[in-house]
Amino acid sequence: MQVNIETPSTLRRKLTIDVEPDEIKRELDRAYNELKRSVVLKGFRAGHAPQKLLERFFGDQVRGDVIQKLVKDYTKKALEENNLTPMVEPEIQTEETDLTKALRFSATFDVRPELVVKDYQGLKVQQPRIEVRDEDVEQALQQLRERHATFKAETRTKVERGDSVLAEIEGYAANEPIPGTKIEQRLLRVSDKMLPHGLDEVLAGAEVGVPISKHRSYGADYAAKELAGKNVEWRAAVKEIFTRQVPELDDEFAKDLGEFANLGELREKLRADLLEAARRRAESRVRQGLLDLVMERNPIEVPESMIDLELRSLEAELAASFEEQGLPHEEAHARAAGNRDELRTRAEKRARSSLIVDALADQEGVAISDEDLADRIAKLVTHSGRERDRVAKFYHQEENRTGLRQAMRREKTLDILLSRAQVEPEAAAETSADA
């Protein structure tokens, strides 16, 4: 194996690796010998098919498998021999794959910046004052009512704004359906806050059982790429109309929730929950404030691949939240991609924070024992209710346990940072609990 190392930038490395013909032949022979033992060809006893015949029938598959194995093995070997640790999986580019001559490929990746965290002792940060107002409790009650709303079928046939309708809808351009725009028959809320692309205007005024067709035009820079620059014909059909009915806010409503004797008990429980949530947010703000101070005092270059990884994670989280609001999969991901510039700023900060905290954890010798990890997993499984089996299975996988251990290590490091800080209360209440 011959390895050439390039340094395109401070943190980026490119390894070009040549695998010698003898090593390639050895791996090909091994692969064909394994194949010979498992394949039976007509006219030959098991394990006695000639290699040339195997090459004719299975050559492409074997060569592909061998290339994949050699790339994996020799990338790992080259990294170990040169004491290099990629921040994320290397990007592999094959250059020569004619195995009768050689195998050449490149592995490009970023390395972790060398960092010694300084000036992190005795930092001053403000502790937000925690307050839960009566109006916060009332807002929580109203949202609780909304979550327990029921649907009543209407006898009227014309759709009004605010209705929930059982409908299907699809967009067309030049009389051809646009991929990703079809909404199968489902319950939709006729509201501009719940429906994308102005579909609330398409459905408002529709008649039950009467197909409708309305046109809408979208600019060339519209976030949903499948609609950008098009005059779209939306075809829809409403099957049924429903109105949402929220329960009365009284003692009976509290009793129906199963654990309260009256509305007063429900209010007090909500107030306690809001206080606890506000306390957690306030503590989170203190931790983030401390971390911001440390980052200001320790400027570092962040690997581009790490930013890209965080960006993909943030886009996936945002898209998932859009889907929870009822947007179709394609539209949810298109909207998330439309926020890429803002998300990139957050991704860079998140990556920078991780590097700082991990370096600080190394300096402080922070570690998470197997017992601590097992206790945390047990608590997560216990509190996951009906999802208990799924959560247990998730953390049975080593990579997920490793991720949790890393998160716990960072939590513990921030606890150390907080224990050595000077926390002062804010002069006036700023943190009220959001329901």
Task: Give pLDDT, residue 23.
Answer: 86
Question: Is 283 within the bounds of a domain?
Answer: yes
Residues 6+ apart with CB under 8 A from 352: 295, 300, 302
For residue 27, which amino acid is it? E
Q: How would you class 119 by CB atoms within 10 Å of its CB: exposed for 0-12, middle for 13-18, buried for 19 or more?
A: exposed
- Longest C-alpha distance within the chain, in Å? 90
Whether residues 326 and 343 share a domain: the answer is: yes
Buried b (16+ CB within 10 A) or exposed e, 138-161: ebbbeebeeeeeeeeebeeeebee
Please tell me the predicted confidence (pLDDT) of residue 431: 46
Instruction: State mean pLDDT over 189-193.
Output: 89
Together in a domain, 229 and 209 = yes
What secondary structure does DSSP assign to 113-174, as a single string?
PP----S-SS-EEEEPPEE--HHHHHHHHHHHHHHT-EEEE-S--B--TT-EEEEEEEEEET
301 with 368, same domain: the answer is: yes
Distance from the Cα of residue 98 to its chain's centroid: 39
Residues 113/352, Cβ–Cβ less than 8 Å = no
- In this predicted structure, the answer to whether residue 345 has a pLDDT above a threshold of 90 is yes
AA letter at 24: I
170 shares a domain with 238: yes
Task: Looking at the structure, tell me whether residues 156 and 187 fall in a common domain.
Answer: yes
Domain span including residue 97: 2-110
Q: Are residues 265 and 208 in the same domain?
A: no
Last residue of a domain, one of 214, 245, 276: 245
- Whole-prediction pTM: 0.66
pLDDT in tens, 63-119: 888 888 888 999 999 999 999 999 888 999 988 777 777 788 999 999 999 899 999
Contact 167, 189 (CB under 8 A): no
Per residue in 204-226, pLDDT tens? 999 999 999 999 999 998 988 88
Verify that 273 and 412 share a domain, yes or no: yes
The total number of structural domains that make up the chain: 3
271: pLDDT strictly greater than 90: yes
User: Of the residues 225, 245, 265, which one is the last residue of a structural domain?
Assistant: 245
Mean pLDDT of 312-320: 91
Q: Quick check: is 220 in a domain?
A: yes
Domain termination residue (choose one: 195, 217, 245): 245
pLDDT tens for each residue of 230-243 = 999 999 999 999 98
Residues 350 and 402 in one domain: yes
In a domain, 11, yes or no: yes
pLDDT of residue 432: 46
What is the distance between the alpha carbons of residues 156 and 187, in angstroms, rounded to a whole number?
17
| Domain match, 273 and 392 both | yes
Amino acid 386: pLDDT: 81
* Model pLDDT, residue 24: 84
Q: φ, ψ for residue 126 (rounded to 5)?
A: -95, 140
- Judged by phi (left if over 0) then psi (alpha if -120 to 50, else beta), residue 217 lies in beta
CATH code, domain with 234:
3.10.50.40
Q: Are residues 317 and 401 in the same domain?
A: yes
Assigned token pair, 48: 């006695």
pLDDT at 428 over 60: no
Any idea which of 89-98, 185-194, 397-406, 413-422 has the lowest mean pLDDT? 89-98
Q: Is 235 exposed, middle or buried (0-12, 13-18, 19+ CB in 10 A)?
A: middle
State both tokens at 110: 């970023």
Q: Would 138 be classed as within a structural domain? A: no
State the pLDDT confidence band at 246, using cuts at 50, 70 and 90.
confident
Task: Give the residue-averaged pLDDT of 187-192.
Answer: 90
Whole-number average pLDDT of the chain: 88
420 with 333, same domain? yes
Q: What is the pLDDT of residue 48?
A: 66
pLDDT digits (tens, 9 = 90+) for 131-173: 899 999 999 999 999 888 888 999 999 999 989 999 999 999 9
Q: Dump pLDDT digits (tens) for 386-408.
A: 888 999 999 999 999 999 999 99
Only one residue has tokens 């970023």, namely 110
Q: Model confidence over 4-24: pLDDT tens digits?
A: 999 988 899 999 998 888 888
- Give dist(CA 218, CA 197) in Å, integer: 9
Q: Round to whole Å and give the CA distance between 234 and 156.
A: 23
> How does strand 124-127 pair with strand 422-425?
parallel
